[in-house]
Structure 1
Amino acid sequence: MTQGPATPLPPPKERRRLRVAGSFTQDQIAARVGVTRKTVRAWENGRTTPRGRKREAYASLLAELATDAADSPLRTDDPVAPAAASASASAPSEPPPAPGPVPVPAPERHPPPSPLTPSQAFDALYAFCSPALVRQAYLLTGRRELARESVERAFELAWQRWPEVAVDPDPAGWVRAAAYEYALSPWHRFRPRYRHPEAPPADAPDRALMDVLLHLPPPHRRTLLLYDGVGLDLPETAAETEASTPAAANRLLRAREAVAARLPELSDPAELTRRLAELASKERLRAAKPLTVRTCSERRARFWTRAAIAFTVALIGTTALSLRSAPTRYEPPVAPGETVRGVPPRVAPGALSEAEVELRAKLRGETVNGPEKLVPLGP
């Protein structure tokens, strides 16, 4: 069985323009195609491409929007047209005016909207994403303070790399991936403040669901949250978790089996999605203000910059001192000692022998005082 050619689609920017021209929201397009709003946004950003029946439905809807946009200036069902026709019929007949140049109205010029400053754009992204990200990080870790810290650190990193994040097709996904990586870091277990578990949720069903989530392996937990909690499709989930699509599907199935084994009432994915949203919304989790996050990010960047400069200066000073104190010529190393053979062993002091007594008397008798003792005697 051969597969036919895929239905052609307009470029991503044209898809968004057709949707806006038709006065449709992403939720409405998603409802008509049968996908989530995140998927429609990914299609319009160019991050993913629809396939199969969803591609055909999406292409048909875009073609319909393109036709409506092309026919909108020539519509005859305008309610003003019948009124104008009836008014012209009731008026007395007059000779038609002489043909002349048709006046063309000057196009209205609207001042272009002022672009947002980097601070304003960052604050808008933070206000839009931080509440949901804190709840997602709480489902990942089961710790309220770590969830807030993860989101704040992710946005601090985003502010430090704002030129890169600002041009990213999905800045919210960039920050979400950074927050998830920080939240699931295994080094938090060595921090004193995170050695002991926090208080579980108050309701018994919520405690059971949180216990099941925390017993899942981190990759399975992250895949389950992205697919059933956030609403990403399988290719987007695989791309964000840095795994292949089959691997992401396998992790999702295993995570759902583990949840259904302990909580059979959550075997339905729709019910699991609803319970995850309820569990996350019951906790009062608030992140810091955008100004506080930007200030902390700048302070942290300055600290590490100064630390890097200080380390570089210390390294240069150590290198200069080594060059200054290093020898300028070759000095051979001291040869290792060798064992000397034939030396008589040392004996303890005792009485002199007769020969030694005679030699001592001879030396004492021939010794004179003064420099004369240095003058050699003649033959």
Structure 2
Amino acid sequence: MTRRPATSLPPPKLRRRLREAAALTQTQLASRVGVTPGTVRAWESGRTTPRGRKREAYAKLLKTLAEEDAARQAERSPEGGRDTGPASASQPKARPVPVVVAVGPDGDAKHETSEAVDGPVLPAKPLTEIAAEPDTATGQDHGPGPGPESGPGSGPGPGPGRRTEPGPEPVPGPAALTPAQAFDALYEFSAPALVRQTYLLTGRREQARESVERAFQTAWEHWPEVARDRDPVGWVRATAYEYALSPWQRFRPRHRHPEPPPADPGDRTLLNTLLRLPPRHRRALVLYDGVGLDLPETAAETEASTPATANRLLHAREAVAGRLPALADPEVLHQRLAELASNERLRAGPPTTVRRGGERRARFRTRAAIAFTVALIGTTALTVHTAPTHYEPPVSPGVTVRGVPPRVAQGALSDEELELRQKLRDQAQDGPERLSPKAE
């Protein structure tokens, strides 16, 4: 019996944009699919994938939203949806996304950029207008005040000249690589930059390295899922950030001993300013101004709405600019974050060591679970074997009534009484010889 292939779904980023383009909240979309808003939030962030009937219903609804969005784009187009010319006439040119730089072998900072993305890195509207929009998840206003209403096509969804395809695009890759080789390639490509990004979140070198290694170990345990992900680096980055910003980190013994600060006074001031920000604001600032993600991607990775993320980013920029006025410009702030991350000599372990460490941790957890299960089964069997099969009510003690001693109830025989009873049973109980009459 063959299983039919699963219904194809658009990538998580496009799912969120289709919902926002249709002016639907996560609660409304969840009611139409028949799930909870938290499930929709997980689907749009890429942490989980729908299955079965929920997947078919979700795919059908997204297809309908895509068709409606295409119809709206065709109505707004001056020639009825036909291509009016090159994309540069109606849409800003694509520019490369900046990435936190890495330190080369010679000690110099290398400014690297990823491939060009479709559309500008900055949002189509100012952050103040996006932060003033109502939250699509809660319906609340997070902004500092009322802003101008946004017209169709001006939000974070797909623009008029941008094509939306409901099906995911295949990611080309070398088919001859084994899973271990693909993991090692991903680790060598992204681990150095992720360690420096995590250092901006924590301010601790060893914790940043450990967070990235733990994230890659988790990725190796879920490698089939990570290998099929459209953005495996983003998957690992989100896991590393969650581990680094976990509140349980403060209870570790090494947190009692502060690490030496950066040598440069400007780097120390910037790092202290970042560490004074709330974790959510710090993470949004690093993702947007440090890594170079756009606003919808930052909101999806932090599992927040776009207005809430814009509001956090505005507050983080105000706090940094209040203490360091020279960093009020976002471009200057990006350069300073890149320099701060590159000035520290941060190194990640070799990929084989990280992969084997994850395998050892997985084996240890498996063996611990097996040992606990065996101990539980043995304890249960021992209890069943030694437990009494029937209930014997205890004999209540006697009470003296009007000087009459209580009647002693018959109880268990002592050792002496048992010995005497056995002795009497063993000895022959021959009485006197019976006299019988004899005839004379």
**Shared fold (TM-score greater than 0.5)?**
yes
57 and 338 in structure 1: CA distance in 2 versus 1, 3 angstrom threshold: farther
Residue identity in the other structure for 1:55: G
Letter in 1 for 2:271: M
Using the alignment, how far apart are the partners of 1:169 and 1:163 within structure 2? 12
Indicate if the aligned counterparts of 1:138 and 1:280 stay in contact, CA closer than 8 A. Answer: yes
Summarize the Cα distance change of 1:220–1:114 in structure 2 as closer, same or farther, 3 Å threshold: closer
Distance 2:115 2:394 in 1: 74
Structure 1 position 58, deviation (Å): 4.0
Give the Cα–Cα distance (whole angstroms) in 1 for the partners of residues 285 and 399 of structure 2.
Answer: 77
Q: One-letter code of the match for 1:281?
A: S
Q: Name the structure 1 match of 2:242.
A: 181
Q: 1:122 to 1:35 in 2, by over 3 A?
A: closer
Q: Alignment partner of 2:160: what SS?
A: helix
CA distance in 2, matches of 1:306, 1:55: 53
Q: Which residue of 1 aligns with 2:251?
A: 190
Q: How does 1:125-274 map to 2 (within 5 A)?
A: 125-274=186-335
Verify: 1:295 aligned to 2:356, yes or no. yes
Instruction: Kindly provide the CA deviation profile for residues 107-163 of structure 1, in whole angstroms up to 9, marking residues without a partner as x.
Output: xxxxx9642110111011101110110000100100111111111111011111111
User: Helix, strand or coil for the counterpart of 1:273?
Assistant: helix
| C-alpha separation in 2, matches of 1:331 and 1:303 | 46
Which entry has the higher C-alpha Rg, 1 or 2? Answer: 1
In structure 2, relative to structure 1, the CA distance for the partners of 1:220 and 1:162 (3 Å cut) is same
1:55 to 2:159 alignment: yes
The whole-number CA distance in structure 1 between the counterparts of 2:160 and 2:94 is 9
Aligned to 2:430: none
Q: Out of 30, 33, 41, which is 2:94 matched to? A: 33
Q: Flag the structure with higher helix content.
A: 1
Task: Give the equivalent residue in structure 2 for 1:354.
Answer: none
- Provide the residue aligned with 1:6 in structure 2: 73
Q: Give the Cα separation in 2 of the matches to 1:145 and 1:113.
A: 34
Structure 1 residue 262: deviation in Å? 1.1
RMSD over aligned Cα atoms: 3.1
Distance 1:185 1:278 in 2: 26
Cα distance per residue 1:53-87 (max 9 Å; x no partner): 97234459x9xxxxxxxxxxxxxxxxxxxxxxxxx
Q: Which runs of structure 1 show a deviation greater than 6 angstroms over 4 or more consecutive aligned residues?
A: none
Q: Which runs of 5+ in 1 are unaligned?
A: 9-29, 44-49, 63-111, 346-379
Q: Does 1:328 align with 2:389?
A: yes
Structure 2: give runs of 5+ residues left out of the alignment: 1-68, 76-90, 99-113, 120-151, 166-172, 406-440
The TM-score normalised by the length of structure 2 is: 0.55
Cα drift, residue 268 of structure 1: 1.4
Residues 195, 346 of structure 2: 8 Å contact kept: yes
1:285 aligns with 2:346: yes
Do 1:39 and 1:232's aligned partners in 2 also have CA atoms closer than 8 Å?
A: no
1:311 corresponds to 2:378: no
CA separation in 1, counterparts of 2:208 and 2:378? 43
Q: Which amino acid aligns with 1:6?
A: Q
Equivalents in 1 of 2:184, 2:218: separation in Å? Answer: 14
Contact 2:200 2:341 in 1 (8 A): yes
Indicate the residue corresponding to 1:352 in structure 2.
none
Distance 1:243 1:325, change over 3 A: same
| Alpha-carbon spacing, 1:330–1:212, altered in 2? closer, same or farther (3 Å) | same
Report what 1:123 is aligned to.
Answer: 184
2-structure distance, mates of 1:242, 1:232: 14
